[in-house]
Amino acid sequence: MSNISFSPLIVGCMRLGVWGAQMSTSEYEKFIDACLDMGLKDFDHADIYGHYTTEAEFGEVIKKRPDLKSKIQVTTKCGIKLLTPNRPEIKVHSYDSTKDYIIWSAENSLKLLGLDRIDLLLIHRPDYLMDPAEIAEAFEQLKAEGKVKHFGVSNFTTSQFELLNSYTPLVTNQVEVSLLHRDAFDNGTLDQCLRHKIQPTAWSPFGGGRVFNDSNDEQIIRVRQKSEEIAERYDTTIDQILLAWIMKHPSNIIPVLGSSKTARIASALESTQITMTHEEWYDLWQAATGVDIP
């Protein structure tokens, strides 16, 4: 069993910078403090966020407020080489999970974030050329040097996870999970997490927010109507119902929130108090699929 302990929800940082809210340093600071006040200590980064700028912006707060180091738990990711003027040396959008690149990326993230140690480092996407022995060597070196505490992956298939986990222990697989994206329930990902007793984390838990927008899509209409019906039963909101649906699974999926609005994060946190019934869970599943279960 993994020995990492997550908050009930993980605060995603992808949209805090230039890819979204474009927060100032003071706004980042207020945001971090507000999340901590709610009992949410986990912040999810990736080196590429904001075209390689968001880690540094977040890190300005840590450098200003070193007391936060002992209060927060930071996940970051590496392995994607993104085409951007901020990294002119990258000529091709590609993946790189070589030992040297993983170590360089982790050390660079530490510097930008202003941290002494990364709590969780994920390989962001499976690299078709990955050598599991080489990745394990990188992880072992980073852990021995006290630079990273835990390791995991993101968007890995079950076979890719099994392969790497046989060389080095992984504590999570961060995958896309929502009522509109249910692959993890059928492709063995969540079964694998249960077997290894690790908690999966879920990006895009609202399916890109499509349920909240006006749409002529029959699936969206069914899901919204059923979510509203169940939300009324619990005197809550449909976003809370969508999160409660994800967290109902026995693998204890932890949603990664994408909002920069603390009010929405506070609302999302209330979903942890909803105990959905099995019938309600399947009612929503069938609303999403449009057919009865087999």
Q: What is the dihedral of CA 97, 99, 101, 106, to 10 degrees?
A: 100
Calpha distance 61→48 (Å, rounded): 19
Calpha distance 259→253 (Å, rounded): 18
Which candidate in 28, 49, 128, 282 is catalytic? Answer: 49
Q: What is the dihedral of CA 266, 109, 75, 30, to 10 degrees?
A: -10
C-alpha distances in angstroms, 230 versus 72, 180, 257? 34, 17, 22
Active site residue 49: yes
- Tokens representing 246 are 């994800």
C-alpha distances in angstroms, 130 versus 16, 89, 96, 134, 283? 31, 21, 8, 8, 41
Going by C-alpha positions, the residue among 52, 53, 33, 51 that lies closest to residue 43 is 33
Calpha distance 236→264 (Å, rounded): 13
Please give the positions annotated as active site.
49
